[in-house]
């Protein structure tokens, strides 16, 4: 039986950076990029880049570099970006509306399929060509539109309730922007984006430099 290779979280976290840089390089009309140049653009050593990529197979050609389109496609497949995930945003306030209008969802292979809110003044409005449904309809809509990922952009007190509704409806992943920890079953993948924590960390580092 083939032993499963364990990839470090740090390596996985760098893959989206490689993908983004390769996409920009492709838009510049470049067909080949070296690990040295890729490293300069990202502030990562060429050795680390080669080690990261070697975790998934053999890429590039010695003495030539990496073929941009090919490596971008390979990393996209590793990240699962070729799966065309359907997503829904819950909470169409300022942050939720901004996320709903995020144009890179499409370029990354994510499809905005549904929006939800509990405010009757918001329900029925159109954001980025998608009609806002009531959160009470989440179970039906998630199943009908085959939603894979739920994005939570509601105030903290409502986040757990929304997460529970999304899990019951059948999503397999949650992207949580609410500033609180939410509990989900083990089979649900979750990523937390606490903006207040990010700003606090930035404030800390700026303060240290001013001392």
Domains of the chain: 9-81 (1.10.10.10), 84-197 (3.40.50.720)
Cα separation, 4 vs 165, whole angstroms: 34
**Residues, the chain:** 211
**Sheet bearing 86-90, strands edge to edge:** 126-127, 130-134, 111-117, 86-90, 149-152, 173-176, 189-192
The torsion angles phi and psi of 189, rounded to 5 degrees, stand at -85, 135
* Chain CA centroid to CA 167, Å: 18
Enumerate the known binding-site residues: 91-96
The torsion angles phi and psi of 104, rounded to 5 degrees, stand at -70, -10
Cα separation, 47 vs 29, whole angstroms: 25
Strand partners, 117: 134
Cα separation, 57 vs 78, whole angstroms: 11
Measured CA angle at 169 (ends 164, 170), to 5 deg? 105
Structure tokens at 30: 């470049």
| Full-model pTM | 0.84
Do 88 and 141 touch, CB atoms closer than 8 A? yes
**Predicted local distance difference test score (pLDDT) of residue 114:** 98
Residue-level pLDDT, tens digit, the chain, 211 residues: 445 567 898 999 999 999 999 999 999 999 999 999 999 999 999 999 999 999 998 888 888 899 999 999 999 999 998 888 999 999 999 999 999 999 888 878 899 999 999 999 999 999 999 999 999 999 999 999 999 999 999 999 999 999 999 999 999 999 999 999 999 999 999 999 988 888 898 898 899 888 7
Enumerate the known binding-site residues for NAD(+): 91-96
**Predicted local distance difference test score (pLDDT) of residue 2:** 45
Do 113 and 167 touch, CB atoms closer than 8 A? no
């Amino acid at each position: 039986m083939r032993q499963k290779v364990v990839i470090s979280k740090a390596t996985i976290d760098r893959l989206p950076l490689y993908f983004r840089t390769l996409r920009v390089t492709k838009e510049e009309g470049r067909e080949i990029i070296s690990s040295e140049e890729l490293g300069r653009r990202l502030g990562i050593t060429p050795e680390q880049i080669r080690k990261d990529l070697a975790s998934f197979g053999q890429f590039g050609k010695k003495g030539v570099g990496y073929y941009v389109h090919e490596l971008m496609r390979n990393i996209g497949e590793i990240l699962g970006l070729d799966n065309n995930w359907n997503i829904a945003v819950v909470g169409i306030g300022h942050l939720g509306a901004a996320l709903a209008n995020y144009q890179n969802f499409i370029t990354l292979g994510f499809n905005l399929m549904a929006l939800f809110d509990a405010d009757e003044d918001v329900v029925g409005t159109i954001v980025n060509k998608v009609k806002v449904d009531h959160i009470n309809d989440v179970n039906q809509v998630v199943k009908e539109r085959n939603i894979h990922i739920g994005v939570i952009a509601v105030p903290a007190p409502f986040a757990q309730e929304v997460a529970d509704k999304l899990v019951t409806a059948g999503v397999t992943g949650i992207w949580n922007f609410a500033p609180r920890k939410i509990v989900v079953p083990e089979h649900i993948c979750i990523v937390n984006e606490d903006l207040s924590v990010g700003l606090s960390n930035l404030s800390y580092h700026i303060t240290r430099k001013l001392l």
